[in-house]
Amino acid sequence: MKFKLIYQGTLKIHPKKRVQHIHAIRSQLAPQMEKLLSIPPYSNICDYIDGKNGLKKKDIVRHVGGIDFVPVISPSLNLLAELDIQMLHPELIGTPRADIDNRMKTLFDALRRPQNEHEIPENADRGRKMHVLLDDDRFVTKMSVNTSHWLGAKNPDDLLVIITVNIRASRGTMDNLAFIV
């Protein structure tokens, strides 16, 4: 099962306010994840969260720092992710600012739920649900990154990141049958 996530903005290498920067990226991706969970077969995940349709409620939602994080890729459903990342940037290839590895670390931190309350900024909107791709980035089993020059960039620090996510089951169960293709 494949889908795409789109992020446009900065992916700072060593941001001064790292927690806020990562949360801002997570907040831009969250509505896409929420929309995904409204479309079958991904909406089946919500049935397990709510215990609808006679399905046993799973421990998917994680409460961290006053926010309920809802990951699509969760150990409760034995799901894994393969990521194909296309990063378009205004920089010429080979320039000193094209630091892919640290940008990927920032992106991976934004794709997963925070592990503790210190990873959530003080000004975060608490008492709500936030949808994320990963419960933890250890559930990524494959990743490829392609970079290219973005001719349409209006800001020299902006990136356009297109993330193709392929969901796989780590083991087939009745809970993840819809994702075994």
* Helices 100-111, 18-36: crossing angle, 10 deg rounding: 60
Domain count, the chain: 1
The pLDDT > 90 percentage for the chain reads 54
Give the range of the structural domain holding residue 44, as residue numbers without chain letter: 2-179
User: Given this model, what pLDDT does residue 19 score?
Assistant: 93
Helix (H, G, I), strand (E, B) or coil at 143: strand
* Closest to 15 (Cα-Cα) out of 137, 156, 109: 109
The label of the residue with tokens 């993330």 reads 163
Cα 107 to Cα 8, 15, 54, 80, 157, distances in angstroms: 12, 12, 36, 17, 15
pLDDT, tens only, 15-73 = 678 999 999 999 999 999 999 999 988 888 888 887 776 666 678 888 999 999 999 99
User: Given this model, what pLDDT does residue 95 score?
Assistant: 59
The mean pLDDT value for 98-111 works out to 89
